[in-house]
Structure 1
Amino acid sequence: MPRIPRPALSGLVHRLSHPSTVAGMALGLMALGLAIGHHVSEQSGMEQLAAVAAERLELYAASLEAELARYDYLPRLIAIDKELMTALDRPGDAALRQRCSQKLARITARAGLGLIFIIDDHQRIVASSEDYASPTRTAETPADAIMRRLSSHILASSAPFFAATEANASSDYIMVQRLQQGERPAGHVVAVLNLAPLEATWVDQGLRSQGEKLLVVDKHDVVIMSSVPGWKYHLMKPIPSADRDALRATGLYAGSLDATLGIATEDLSHQDTSWVRVPAPDAPTNTAQTVELLAQERAVVPLDLRLVTLSDPTEVWRHARFAAWGGGAVGASLGLLMLYLAYRRRVLQQLFRASEALKRAHSELECEVSERTQELRTSNDELKHQIAQRLKAEGELIQAGKLAVLGQMSAGISHEINQPLTALRALSRNSLLLIEKGRSQTVAENLRAIDDMVERMTRITRQLKSFARKTEAAQAPATLGNAIKGARLLLDHRITAEQVTLDIDIPDTLRVTGDGNRLEQVLVNLMGNALDTMQACPQKILRISTRPDGPRVWVCISDTGPGLPPHLMARLFEPFFTTKPAGQGLGLGLVISSKIVHEFGGQLLAYSNAPDGPGMRFEFDLERRD
C-alpha cells in the first residue's frame, strides 16, 4: 500500500474537518439513522403484530369450531326417537304432531338452538319447535321460510352448511340428518343455530380493539360473518356477473353480492401475511376511502371455511416514525461527535443509556405480550370449567329448592308430628290401665284413635318423602287437585297457625300435562310465598282458581298481602333476589318454578295489585288432559 505524503494527508484531514464537510457528513449520518431506525422498528413491530394476530386467529378458530361442534350430535340423537319417526307416517295426527313439537321445543331450549324441525320425504314440515303450543299455523314461520329458500340444499346435502337469516341477515348454521325407515328415505331432521350472538361478541371486541378486524369466508369467497357489520356478504374479490348471479340463486346469502373487498385470496393462501387495501369500515358508503391492513388467513377444514384477520399497522408505523427520529438523532449525535470531540465521553454515555432503555422497553413489551397470551389461555380454560359447573349445578338447583322449602317447614311439621306422638303415649299408657281393669271396649276405642293418629303421621311423612325425592323431567297426565292437596298437606300447619282462609275453586277431575311431584313443588313455592307476605296483614285470604284458555288452562294463586312496588317487580325472577329477611329465603323459588313451568310448555307470570283486590297474583298455564 503506497504511503500518502504528509502534506497530502494533512490536506485531506483539513478538507475533512472543514465545517461544510462535517455538516454534510452529519446530515448523511442523520439520514442513515432515520432510515435504519424506521426499518428496524417497522420490521420488529410487524413481526409482533403478525404474531399476536396469529394467536388470536387460532383462538377465534378454536372458539368457532368448539361452538359448532357442541351441536353435531343433536340431529343424529333426534333421528333415533321412535315417536318422531312415527310422526312421519302419521302427518295428519294433530295430537302426535303437537307432542313431537313440544319435545323439539324442549330440546331447542336446553341446547340453546334457534329452531329444530322435521320434514318428510314430500318436504312437508311434520313437527317444529315453533309449534309446541299449538300445531295450527296461519302464517309463514321461519321453518317455512327456510324450506322455501333452502330446500334444495337440505335435500341434497347431509353435511352442515351456512346460510343467511332472511329476517335480519345474520348467519345460521344449519345441520341436516337424513331419516331412513328400512331402506326407504323417510325425511330429514333440520337443526338451525343462529350465530348472531357469537358475531355480536366479535363486533364488540372489534369496537374495543380498533386495530383488528375478523372475517369468516366460505368456499365461494363470500364474507358470511364479520366483526365489521358493513362488510357482511361482500365478495373477497371481483367475480364475473354470471358467477354472482349463480351465488344469488343459491339462497344462501343476503344482499346483492355486488360489493367486494378487493382482497386477492391467492396471495393469502400462499403467504403467511400480505398487505391488502380494503374500504374504510367507518367511511360513508358513497366514498372510495380505503385503508391498508395486514392480512392473515387460517383454514378451518372441518367447516370448509377460512378465517381472515386484518390488522391495522397504524400503531406500528407511528412507533417506526418515532424510532426513525431516534435513529436520526443518533446520526446527528455522531456528526456532532466529529465536530465536538470534547464531548465524546458524554455523548457515548447518553447513547449507552438510550440503548439500555430501548432494550428494557423491548423486554417489557415481550413480557407483556407473553403474560397477555397466558391470561387469554387461562380465561379460556376457566370459561370451559364454568360451563361444566353450570351444567352440573343446573340439575341440582331444583332439588336444592325442595330442600330449602323443607327446611323452612321443618319446625311446623315437627310440631304436627309431635302432637300425635304425645297423644299416642297418653293413650297407650291409659290402655294398659284399662286392660288391667278389664274395660276392653274403652281399650278398643283407644286403639282406633291410635290408628287414626298413626295414619295422619304416615300421610305427612309419605308426602315429605314424595316431595323431597329427586325426580327426572317427565310429561305425563297429572290431577291438579291431588297436587294442590299434597301442597296443602305440607303447608297445613302454617295455614292453621296463621289463621289463613284458603279458598280453592278448581274442578276435582281436572287433569293437566306435567309431573305431579314437580307441579306440587311449584304450588308449594307459590303458596309459601303468599303465606310469607300475609304474616302482618289483618285479612289473610289465599285463593287458588283456574281459568280455561282453549286447549290449556291457567292456574291462578293470589293473596291479600301488600304486593310489590314496580321497581322490584322487574327483578322478581332474578336468581338469588329475595325481599325476605336474611336467612329466610334463597331467592331461588320463583326461578325454579318458572323453569319447571317452562319445561311443561307454559310460562309463569306475576302481577302486583290485582284487579280484584290488593296483593300479588301468580298465573301459569298448562295443557289440559281430558
Structure 2
Amino acid sequence: MPAPSSPSPLRARARLLSRLPSRPGFYFFLTGLLMVLGFVLAHRLSERSGREQLSALSTERLELYASNLAAELGRHASLPSLLAIDPTLQALMLAPDSAERRHAASQMLARVNVRAGTNQIFVADGQGQVLSASETLTPPARLAEALVQDRRHFFAADPNTGSTDFYLLHPLRQGGRTAGVIVVRFNLAPLEATWIDLGLRSQGERILVADDQDVVIMSSVQAWKYAVLDHADPSRRKALQASARYPQSIGPDLELPASLEVHQGQQVQLPLPGARPMLAQQRQIVPLGLRLVALSDLTEVKQRAQIAAWGGAAFGASVGLAALYLASRRRALRQLTKAQTELQQAHGQLEQLVDSRTAELRQTNDALKSQIAQRLQTEGELLQASKLAVLGQMSAGLSHEVNQPLTALRALARNSIRLLESGRNDAVAANLQIMDDMVERMSQITRQLKNFARKADEQAVGSTALLDCVRNALLLLEHRSRTLNLQTEVDVPAGLRVRAEANRLEQVLVNLFGNAIDAMQRESERRLRVQVVAEDAGRRALVRVQDSGAGLSEADLQRLFEPFFTTKPAGEGLGLGLVISAKIVHEFGGRLRAERLEQGMSFEFDLAVETWAATPESEDV
C-alpha cells in the first residue's frame, strides 16, 4: 500500500482560512496594534524626510536670494570711482564755490543718473553739504555718520515711501585729505517687489533681510518690514527710532534666535496672530553686514507626515485585515454573483420601462405637434375673422360712402347730356373731370378694402413705409372720422421705413384707430394723434396712438390684452382686436403697451427701423 501523502500547502492554507472567521477578536486586536505602530513610525520618518527636503530647498533659495541681492547691490559698484576721474568733478573740487562749475557738474550727474538707471547722484563736501546733484535733494541723515566712519556704503530708508535705499560712497581726495565724496543712491523697491510677488505666489516661504541692528529692512511680507528679529525692550526701540535709519515706528518682535543653522534649520513659532510653525535658516552677508533669513512653512510637511501616518496606519490595518478578507472572500463572491444576477434582472426591467416611457413620450410629442399646428391654424383663422369683423363694422359706412358718389355720378351724367345738347362743351368737360375724381376716390376705397381683406403672408416681413400704412388705415376709417368731426394729427417722417409686413401693420393701426374712435364717440372734443419717436439711437421707432376719450379704469387696464375681453356693448366687439394686434407686433420684434393719460389713452409699440427720414412730416386732418 502506498504511504499516505503529506498535506499540500494549498490544503493547509485552506484549513487555516477556514478557521479565520471563528476568531475575529484576535485579528481585530492585531489590526489595532499594527495601526498604532504604522502610524507612529510613518509619521516620524515622513516628518524627518520632509524637514530635510525643505531645509535643502530653502538653502538653495537662500543662496539664490543672496546672489541676487549681491548682484543688485554690486551693479553700480564701479560707478562712483568712474565719476571720480571725470574732469568736470575734478574741476568742481578745485573751485567748489564756483556756481558755473556746480551747474556743469549737476548737468553731467543728471545725464549719468538717467543712463545708469540710478535714483540720485550727488557730490558733497567733507562736512556732508551738497555741492552738486543730479536733482534737488536733501542729504540723508546717515551721510555725516558715514563720512566720519569712512564708510563706502550704507542703507537708509526713504522717508517719503518707506522703501530701502542703498548708498555707494567714493571719497574725493586732494593733497592727502578728503575734500568731498561722490554718493550714488538707488532704490531696492523693485527687488523687494519681486520678493513680495514670489511670496504671494508661494505662501510657504518668507524672506527677510536684517541690518546690523537686527532690524528688517527688506521683506517679502510687507507687514514685517522694520520689525526686530529678536526682542527689543523699550529703551532699545527708542534708540533705534532715534537713529534716523527707519522712517516709521519699529515693528513687532519676531523673537528669532540670534544664531540659526544654515543647513538643518530650526523650528520657530512667530509671536504673531495666526502664525504657523516655521523652519528658520539664515545666511550671513558679511561685506554688507546683513543677515538673510528664510522662513519656510512647516504646515505642508506636517500635513504630509499626517497623511503618511494615516497611510502607515492603513497599511497596518490592511495587513491585519488581509487574513480576515481572504477567509470571507468566498462568501463575498457568492454574494457578488447573486447581486450581479439581480442587477441584470433590474437592468432588463429598466430597459423595458425606458422603452415604454419612450413610446409614451413619442405619442405625447406627436399630440403636442398636432395641437401646435391646430393652434397656429386657429390663430390664422381668428386673424382673418378679426379683419372680416372690422370690414363688417365698416360696411354700413362704406356703402354710404360709395352710394353718395354713385348718386352724384348719375346726376352729373344726366346734366352732361343736356349740356351737350345745348353745346356747352366747357361745362361738360368740367362735369367729366368731377366724375373722374369721384370714380378714382371710389376705386381707391375699394382697392384698399380688397388689400385689407386679403390674407397676409406671415413670413413676408420686409421694408414698409410707415406713413403709407397710417394713411391707408385712416382712409378705411374716413367715413367714421368725418361723421364725428374727428381731428387727426399725424407726426410721422415721410421717409421712415420699418421692418414689417404692410397688410398686417395696417390691421394693427385700423384696430387701434377704430378703438380710439369708439372711445371718443360721446366726447365733446375728439382728437386722434399718431406720433413716432426715435429710440435706441435711431435703430427703433416708437409709434404712439393717443386719443382724447374717457380712458379705462385700472381694473380694465390689467385685463386689456386678455382674449375675448371687451368694454364695448354686446354685439359690437369680440375682444380679439388688441390680442391679435399684440401678437402681430410681437412677430415684428416689438411689444404693444397701453398707458392711461390725463385725458384718454395712449397705445404704443416699437418697430425696427430700415430707413429714417431726415425731417418728420406732420399733417392735421
TM-score range for the pair, normalised by the shorter chain length? 0.3 to 0.5
* Larger radius of gyration between Structure 1 and Structure 2: 2
**TM-score normalized with structure 2 length:** 0.47
**TM-score normalized with structure 1 length:** 0.47
